[in-house]
Chain A
Amino acid sequence: MALFVFWVLLSASFEWIHLCLGLVCSFIVAWINSGHSPFVPKSRLAVRVLLYLPWLFYKIVQSSLHLSKLILHPALPIAPQLMTVESRLNHHAAVVLFGNSITLTPGTITAEVDRNTLIVHAMDQELGEDLAGGKKEMETKIADIFRDVEPDL
């Protein structure tokens, strides 16, 4: 109701078409914000995932350059290793996103997923550190995306 008054104030015209449009718009906005509409949590989630993608792309570029350096280095200073990453994500979609991000980042590949334990093949110590070491930056970001989704794992 307040939204509709606001609309009338802003548009300052009292033709039928404007009034009807304003009424419809204010009802839609009220419905979206009321918590009854089905797509609010999902759309919020989608926005967060979209905001996450640029950061992921930055990581992809970063580790691509690192991996290129490793490959072109004459001594081939690689130390490939299998490592177990125990994540604290408790949501199916979150684990999927996590595994996909790991694989998409060059130098690390998810080899096996069991609930929230991932086996990751990493190309050298530094690339693996990002996932299992002290930082856990990626996992923190993903946990943040899914912070208000009910856990189902």
Chain B
Amino acid sequence: MTILSIAFIVAGLFFLVVAAIGVIRLPDVFCRSHAVSLTDSLGAFLMLLGIAFYEGLDKNTLKILVVLSLLYILNPVIAHATIRAALRSGLKPWRKETP
């Protein structure tokens, strides 16, 4: 059980680190928000799953599941709001061809 939870947490950490690198490397707000959504969808999921396994089955697992489902509902809403605000305020997405 502990090994399983460690494996999940390490995998989650991998995605969190990749997302952090992505936020730094990618060129504009649109691309960066993709990297951020990577954090929420897999990074946090694997981390919380690992923690849930580590805790064993009790009422804390239930709370973690509630957090997870809320995360999965809220994450697309926030990402969509950010991108729509950026688009409406006239920000042009970065393209490869244009300098």
Residue among A103, A121, A123 making CB contact with B76, cutoff 8 Å? A103
- Chain B residues with CB under 8 Å of A107's CB are 34
Once the chains bind, are B31 and A123 in contact (CB under 8 Å)?
A: yes
- Please measure, in the bound complex, the distance between the C-alpha atom of A149 and the C-alpha atom of B4, giving whole angstroms: 43
Residue among A64, A99, A100, A111 making CB contact with B38, cutoff 8 Å? A64
- Chain A residues with CB under 8 Å of B80's CB are 99, 103, 109-111
Taking Cβ atoms with an 8 Å cutoff, the residues of B that contact A are 15, 18-19, 21-22, 25-26, 28, 30-31, 33-35, 37-38, 41-42, 72, 75-76, 79-80, 83-84, 87, 93-96
21 A-B contacts (beta carbon < 8 Å): A68-B15, A68-B38, A71-B18, A76-B25, A79-B96, A80-B93, A80-B95, A81-B93, A100-B76, A103-B79, A104-B75, A106-B37, A106-B41, A109-B83, A110-B76, A111-B30, A111-B83, A119-B87, A121-B30, A121-B93, A123-B34
Taking Cβ atoms with an 8 Å cutoff, the residues of A that contact B are 60-61, 64, 67-68, 71-72, 76, 78-82, 99-100, 103-112, 119, 121, 123
